């Protein structure tokens, strides 16, 4: 268990412990508020968590700047909708 102030002052030390496999319980005025542990073996639910896990294993490199995407604009075409064509092909 470690208090928030101690964690802030010695963050590198506690992160090194988590890399080793330790779990750190963070407390605020003696009450547990968070659990910090290594990323290996974590069930990843969000894309950010999955990317962080892959980056931790050295399989991907995360971007250093936010990516700016152009706004999506659908293209208008004449004829049947693609979904209608697919449904017809399945019959």
% the chain with pLDDT above 70:
95
Residue 42 banded pLDDT, cuts 50, 70, 90: low
pLDDT in the model for residue 65: 82
Spell out the domain ranges in the chain.
Answer: 1-63
Do 23 and 36 contact (CB within 8 A), yes or no?
yes
Phi, psi values for residue 16, rounded to 5°: -65, -40
> H or E segment at 24?
strand 24-28
Q: What is the DSSP letter of 1?
A: -
What's the distance, CA 55 to chain centroid? Answer: 10
Q: Is the pLDDT of residue 41 over 70?
A: no
Instruction: Please give the model's pTM, rounded to 2 decimal places.
Output: 0.50
Kindly report the average pLDDT of the chain as a whole number: 85
pLDDT at residue 66, rounded to an integer? 80
Q: Looking at the domain 1-63, which fold is it?
A: YefM-like fold (3.40.1620)
């Amino acid at each position: 268990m470690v208090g928030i102030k101690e964690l802030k002052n010695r963050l590198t030390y506690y992160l090194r412990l988590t890399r080793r496999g330790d779990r750190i319980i963070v407390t605020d005025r003696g009450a547990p508020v968070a659990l910090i542990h290594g990323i290996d073996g974590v069930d990843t639910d969000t894309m950010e968590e999955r990317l962080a896990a892959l980056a931790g294993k050295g399989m991907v490199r995360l971007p250093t700047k936010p990516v700016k995407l152009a706004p999506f604009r659908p293209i208008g075409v004449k004829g049947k909708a693609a979904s209608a064509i697919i449904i017809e092909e399945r019959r």
